Amino acid sequence: MPYEIDKPEDQWRAELTPQEYHVLREAGTERAFTGEYTDTKTAGVYSCRACGAELFRSETKFESHCGWPSFYDPADSSAVELIEDRSHGMVRTEVRCARCGSHLGHVFAGEGYPTPTDQRYCINSISLRLEPRDD
């Protein structure tokens, strides 16, 4: 799928840190409970670290105690792309930024969290940038 932001991989490597590149462009995962936004309660907008697209809002962030920031809904359904992921011997749904194709994490459903959507967007902190706002 063509993305609005389409850069050669050497340009992504130059713009991102090695860890950001590994997660965003190679579908890596940061270690659980190490990300800067795992326990953040700051009001604001979470954007894609690679391209700046708005992805999630703090109002939909919840404590899942899974080790990564969790959201129950994206800011806009067209902000993310969902792709079947059959890696690691299981079937999951990968979440990517719809604007640049960067890997964000995975979404899970039916886990029983008391959220309006019964979904958990399990997103790597390193894939995001929080823009705080005053409420």
What are the catalytic residues? 122
Other CB atoms within 10 A of residue 88 CB = 7
Contact of 127 with 110, CB cutoff 8 Å: no
**What does the H/E/C string look like for 40-94?**
CCCCEEEEECCCCCEEEEHHHEECCCCCCCEECCCCCHHHEEEEEECHHHCCEEE
Contacts of 66 (CB under 8 A, 6+ apart): 32, 120, 122
Distance between CA atoms of residues 49 and 69, nearest Å: 14
